Amino acid sequence: MRRAIAAAAALLLALTAACGGNGEDAPPEDGPDVLRVLAGSEIKDLEPLLAKAAGAAGVKVSLSYTGTLDGAEQVANGGADGHYDAVWFSSNRYLSLIDGANARLSTQTKIMVSPVVLGLSRAKARELGWDTGRATWSDIAEAARRHRFTFGMTNPASSNSGFSALVGVAAALSDAGEALDQAQITAVTPRLTGFFSAQTLTAGSSGWLADAFRRRTDVDGLINYESVLLGLRTASGEPLTLVYPGDGVVTADYPLTLLASSPKKELYGKLAAWLRTPGVQREIMTTTARRPIVPEVRPDSRFGTAPLLELPFPNRRSAADALIDAYLNQVRRPSRTVFVLDTSGSMEGDRIDALKQALAALTGTDASASGQFSRFRNRETVTMLPFNTGAGPASTFTVPDRDPAAVLNRIRAYGDGLTARGGTAIYDGLRDAYETARGGPGGSGGTGGEDFTSVVLMTDGENTDGSSYEDFAGFYRALGTRIPTFVVLFGDSDVSEMRQVATLTGGAVFDARQASLASAFKEIRGYQ
Amino acid sequence: MKRWIGVGLALVLGAVVVLALVLGNGEDGSGGEQRTLTTVRGVIGSEKKPFFDDPAVRAAFARHGLRVEVDTAGSREIATTVDLRPYDFAFPSSVPAAEKIRQAHKIARTYSPFYSPMAVATFQPIVDVLAKAGVVHDSGAGYQVLDLRRFLDLVAKGTRWDALPGNASYRARKRVLLTTTDVRTSNSAAMYLAATSYVANGDDVVTSRAQVAEVARTVAPLFLDQGYSESSTEAPFEDYLALGIGKTPMVVIYEAQYAARLFAGGGAIRPDMRLIYPAPTVLSKHTLVPLTDRAAEVGRLLQEDPEFARLAARYGFRTADPKVFADLVATTKAPVPASLVDVVEPPAYDRLEELISTVEQRYLAGAKPSS
């Protein structure tokens, strides 16, 4: 009996770890005064405040982070039950549209609000005549279509700010007064394509987007939460001018939501009540630039006085999914992606199988919505570049703008044919990847075409053959490129050197050592 | 075999209730009284939760030897999907839902201790614009009404705010619609459906299936065209209070939600906010269905004891004695009418359920590409 309990406990821990998304989060510890919360990364900035909840409200908040769509699916299919007591995303709207999700949710308490708006450099806002802060999405779309400015936005399938922005822009441009349906989405697609032709920066999370924006001088603005934009500075240190579209916005309302499966109803109630006390509401406003939800606390002068019109949000999942699908496969500018894959001897066995599976998932075998939205997109050019003792031959595939199945099948067959042997020449592989991405068939040519070009480096060990990191760093700097490398830690990766690669190229590191390689690949897709 | 499992489960649950009773008696409620309390558990509509959580209400129950524990659920869920076995009473927010439970459990007597008319919370500029359009007018009884007949005509034409003549103050391109909760789960939206179905049925309560099909065509867009709607009545009202006219120009609420904030003071209701009533309106009659004997005592106290009536009025509810509510209105000078004239009955449970199901089917129909 004892042993059975121990085994069950171990299983529980393993499952909890797997739920942590990229595996960087420790499994949430339980206790009578601990409220385990599955949250969107957007609320990370509340951590200092939440740390005070233990003393002030008697609630220890244990946060684990996940992506919006991933988190929504996890809650809807019951994967969060038993591991978490509450969920806290910037919005429950998409989650509520999934069949069966509402039965998993108990009390919802809105904590704060932030609309998704446009932030532009002051000079650009003045040039476009929007320095008074007023313009409509139609004005913005027209200027975007004529390439009068450029902007960054998160991927709508990975991050709620991108999804809210997409819904807002589509609702405003569709000229329909009611919630979007399939027919309206089809009709508005050409206008959306014009709008998003000015998008030159994407990301899987609001935090990374803001960091990338600070480094870039060629991106004029961002579409994101007001709270993010109010705190942001351009590369030259200037604050942004916020443009509040007069034809409406979509607002995040951050509902702290008790899971129906949790027995900690009272603990949840304490935290929710504390977060809505006037003092805490004021602190949220001051420290995170979000608007208070309780009417007793009025927004301060940073937020302006113009009333924000709220645009209707779709009430059917099919409409929400159709919109994301249209964005990824028709509307957005196509991306160019190079996968640098370790096929050295140490990959033999489970590891190469995990790689095959992770690649197959990106060709559409993952049937979940988040899986479908992370597949290789229509119009995307994908290069597979295996390496072992040296860099292998590159194979390039371009997914057509319709009927993608045949090409996706070819990519899957390519992945299935990978074999493991030989040494590990990481930087020879990486160097070839950059050469392929810059020139050659399907290459992006000069820097202007690099906006959506990226490299994924997946390796399970240290560099043993060919050029060194220093050689690569010299090569990279001489190249004058800004193509980022997204590094996947796997097996026995050299963590510090891999982090250097990510920092050098302006990429990011994803950890697949605890969680699966497939989930790391899926997360990276948000950045491509 | 199945039946035996059912009985076994009931026994286990019974044991749990007894255990809860014993444990509940151990820890005293509020008030510091030493006498043992009988715990009575109920499942209620969420809008009554603050009332039951109020220390004054808990103390009042304790004086009668009772400790009342509540869980919340939508009224429609209470009548259909919620497992009522762990509970001593169900307390949905409408007569149709209570009637359904009463029949299913063969309960002789129910209690309707308080009620609240359905109302619309809005803003002065909206009232002005809709008055110009002939949709809002004075009732002649000291309050303004939203004429549902004219409002339905406006909705049928797909009218947008910026298309209303003489509207300079609210130039939104979105459709003129009232914000409601999700009619599939929430009682306040179902009560709005009840009032609009009366008008769409030629000023008569819907009583037949044939009428349901016909009426649904007119009223379904009131819900579907809004887009996403929330599941709890407090959520859109909170948006109204905090985010104002931009997000929620007009929201369907229980009068009690607005009145409670007026009575409490504190400035949540700002000077440009207005409470108007749909004409006709319906009453949300909060009806307690006792499933055990000790719950009957809870129902009796709520309905007959003046102390509970006073406490309920503070939460904006109207009670059997109209004077309690009227006195509170007088002392707080709250702009709330003493009584309403144009009130109709909601359809019977089965008809209302059919109406909701028909709207629900339209949600599902939209799940397929509409081309």
Q: Are residues B236 and B170 in the same domain?
A: yes
Question: What are the start-end ranges of the H helices in A348-400?
Answer: 350-360, 369-372
Mean pLDDT over the full length of chain A? 90
Q: What is the predicted pLDDT for the residue at A76?
A: 94
**CA distance to A210, A308, A366, A373, B45, per residue, from A165 (Å):** 16, 14, 26, 17, 35
Q: Are residues B289 and B153 in the same domain?
A: no
SS3 A117: strand
Enter the tokens of residue A300.
């301060």
Is residue B5 domain-resident?
A: no
Phi-psi label, residue A273: left if phi above 0, alpha if psi -120 to 50, beta otherwise: alpha
Chain B: residue whose CA lies nearest to A245:
B172
Find the length of chain A: 528
Q: What is the predicted pLDDT for the residue at A28?
A: 60
Q: In the predicted model, is pLDDT for residue A91 greater than 60?
A: yes
Contacting B with CB below 8 Å, chain A residues are: 93, 96-97, 102, 107-108, 110, 113, 175, 177-183, 186, 247-248, 251, 253, 291-296, 307-319, 322
The type of residue at B280 is: P
Chain B: residue whose CA lies nearest to A109:
B235
SS3 B106: coil
Which one, of A334, A375, A351, A307, lies nearest residue A458 by Cα? Answer: A351
Peptide bond into B249 cis (omega under 30): no
Mean pLDDT of A297-319: 90
> For domain A114-251+310-322, which CATH number applies: 3.40.50.300, 3.40.190.10, 2.70.98.40, 3.90.650.10?
3.40.190.10
Which one, of A334, A359, A367, A319, lies nearest residue B368 by Cα? Answer: A319
Q: In the predicted model, is pLDDT for residue A321 greater than 70?
A: yes
Q: Are strands A151-154 and A221-225 parallel, antiparallel or unpaired?
A: parallel
**Chain B stretch 181-240, residues whose beta carbon is closer than 8 A to a beta carbon of chain A:** 185, 221, 224-232, 235, 238-239
Q: Are B243 and A181 inside 8 Å of each other by CB?
A: no
Which one, of B128, B133, B148, lies nearest residue B272 by Cα? Answer: B128
State pLDDT tens for residues A188-224. 999 999 999 999 999 998 889 999 999 888 999 999 9
Q: In the predicted model, is pLDDT for residue A26 greater than 60?
A: no
Q: Are strands A112-120 and A241-245 parallel, antiparallel or unpaired?
A: antiparallel
Q: What is the predicted pLDDT for the residue at B34?
A: 57
Q: Are residues B263 and B127 in the same domain?
A: yes
Q: Are A179 and B367 inside 8 Å of each other by CB?
A: no
What's the start-to-end Cα distance of chain B, in Å?
Answer: 50
Least confident span in A259-263, B170-174, B268-272, B366-370: B366-370
Q: Where are the domains of chain A?
A: 2-110+255-289, 114-251+310-322, 334-525
Q: In the predicted model, is pLDDT for residue B321 greater than 60?
A: yes
Nearest to B235 among A97, A108, A180 (CB): A108
Q: What is the predicted pLDDT for the residue at A439?
A: 73
* Angstrom distance (rounded) from CA A434 to CA A485: 10
State pLDDT tens for residues A399-422. 999 999 999 999 999 999 999 999
Is residue B2 domain-resident?
A: no
Residues 6+ apart with CB under 8 A from A247: A136, A137, A138, A172, A309, A311, B173
Q: Could you tell me if A115 and A250 are in contact, meaning their C-beta atoms sit under 8 angstroms apart?
A: yes
* Angstrom distance (rounded) from CA B241 to CA B232: 15
**Which residues on chain B are in Cβ contact (under 8 Å) with A93?**
228
Nearest to A309 among B230, B246, B267 (CB): B246
Which residue spans within B190-340 are E strands per DSSP?
A: 251-254, 273-279, 281-290, 318-319
* Angstrom distance (rounded) from CA A369 to CA B35: 57
* Angstrom distance (rounded) from CA A425 to CA A385: 12
* Percent share of chain A, pLDDT over 90: 78
Is residue B1 domain-resident?
A: no
B142 interfaces chain A, CB cutoff of 8 Å = no
- Residue B366's pLDDT band (boundaries 50, 70, 90)? low
Mean pLDDT of A91-103: 90
What CATH number does residue B233 fall under?
A: 3.40.190.10
**Which residues on chain A are in Cβ contact (under 8 Å) with B366?**
181-182, 316, 318-319
State pLDDT tens for residues B269-300. 999 999 999 999 999 999 999 999 999 999 99
Enter the tokens of residue B57.
């209400």
**Which residues on chain A are in Cβ contact (under 8 Å) with B231?**
96, 102, 108
* Percent share of chain A, pLDDT over 70: 93
Mean pLDDT over the full length of chain B? 88
Chain B: residue whose CA lies nearest to A294:
B242
CA distance B125 to chain A (A): 13
ipTM over 0.90: no
Q: Phi and psi of B213, rounded to 5°?
A: -60, -45
Q: Could you tell me if A239 and A143 are in contact, meaning their C-beta atoms sit under 8 angstroms apart?
A: no
**Which residues on chain A are in Cβ contact (under 8 Å) with B241?**
295
DSSP A290: P
Q: Which of A95, A114, A182, A277 to probe by mutation at the B interface, max B CB count within 10 Å? A: A182
Q: Are residues B219 and B205 in the same domain?
A: yes
Q: Could you tell me if B174 and B159 are in contact, meaning their C-beta atoms sit under 8 angstroms apart?
A: no
- Residue B6's pLDDT band (boundaries 50, 70, 90)? very low
Chain B: residue whose CA lies nearest to A251:
B247
CA distance B355 to chain A (A): 19
Q: Could you tell me if A116 and A308 are in contact, meaning their C-beta atoms sit under 8 angstroms apart?
A: no
Place of tokens 């007569």: B95
State pLDDT tens for residues B294-317. 999 999 999 999 999 999 999 999
Is residue B371 domain-resident?
A: no
Q: Could you tell me if B292 and B107 are in contact, meaning their C-beta atoms sit under 8 angstroms apart?
A: no
Q: Are residues B72 and B166 in the same domain?
A: no
Place of tokens 């949000």: A313
Nearest to B226 among A179, A294, A296 (CB): A179
Is residue B370 domain-resident?
A: no
In chain B, the number of structural domains is: 2
Q: What is the predicted pLDDT for the residue at A102?
A: 86
Mean pLDDT of A42-66: 95
DSSP A155: -
SS3 A60: strand
Q: Phi and psi of A190, rounded to 5°?
A: -60, -40
**CA distance to B105, B187, B255, per residue, from B285 (Å):** 20, 11, 12
Mean pLDDT of B163-167: 91
Q: Could you tell me if B95 and B112 are in contact, meaning their C-beta atoms sit under 8 angstroms apart?
A: yes
- Residue A12's pLDDT band (boundaries 50, 70, 90)? very low
Q: What is the predicted pLDDT for the residue at A206?
A: 87
Q: Are residues B149 and B172 in the same domain?
A: yes
Q: Are residues B32 and B101 in the same domain?
A: yes
Nearest to B175 among A97, A178, A295 (CB): A178
- Strand pairing partners for B119? B253
Q: Could you tell me if B184 and B255 are in contact, meaning their C-beta atoms sit under 8 angstroms apart?
A: no
Chain A: residue whose CA lies nearest to B233:
A108
Place of tokens 């010299």: A474
Q: Are A178 and B369 inside 8 Å of each other by CB?
A: no
Is residue B154 domain-resident?
A: yes
Residues 6+ apart with CB under 8 A from A140: A118, A195, A243, A245
Domain that holds residue B264: 117-283+340-365
State pLDDT tens for residues A438-486. 875 444 444 447 889 999 999 999 999 999 999 999 999 999 898 999 9
The type of residue at B358 is: T
Q: Are A312 and B228 inside 8 Å of each other by CB?
A: yes
Q: Could you tell me if A201 and A152 are in contact, meaning their C-beta atoms sit under 8 angstroms apart?
A: yes
Mean pLDDT of A316-336: 95
Q: How many CB pairs under 8 A join A and B?
A: 111
Residues 6+ apart with CB under 8 A from A305: none
* Angstrom distance (rounded) from CA A297 to CA B8: 53
Q: What is the predicted pLDDT for the residue at A450?
A: 83
The type of residue at A6 is: A
Q: Are A312 and B244 inside 8 Å of each other by CB?
A: no
Q: Phi and psi of A232, rounded to 5°?
A: -90, 145
State pLDDT tens for residues B195-248. 999 999 999 999 999 999 999 999 999 999 999 999 888 899 999 999 999 999
Q: Are residues B278 and B288 in the same domain?
A: no
Q: Could you tell me if B95 and B346 are in contact, meaning their C-beta atoms sit under 8 angstroms apart?
A: yes
Q: Are residues B242 and B180 in the same domain?
A: yes
Q: What is the predicted pLDDT for the residue at A18?
A: 34
- Superfamily name and number for A334-525: von Willebrand factor, type A domain (3.40.50.410)
Q: Are A312 and B246 inside 8 Å of each other by CB?
A: no
Residues 6+ apart with CB under 8 A from B163: none
Q: Are residues B32 and B169 in the same domain?
A: no
Q: Are residues B241 and B323 in the same domain?
A: no
Q: In the predicted model, is pLDDT for residue B103 greater than 90?
A: yes
* Angstrom distance (rounded) from CA B170 to CA B14: 57
Residues 6+ apart with CB under 8 A from B104: none
Question: Helices H, strands E: what count in chain B?
Answer: 15, 11
Q: Which of B169, B185, B228, B237 to probe by mutation at the A interface, max A CB count within 10 Å? A: B228
Q: Are residues B28 and B107 in the same domain?
A: yes
Identify the CATH class of A2-110+255-289: alpha beta
Q: Three-state SS across A408-456?
A: HHHHHHHHHCCCCCCCCCHHHHHHHHHHHHHCCCCCCCCHHHHCCEEEE
Is A2-110+255-289's fold the same as A114-251+310-322's?
A: yes
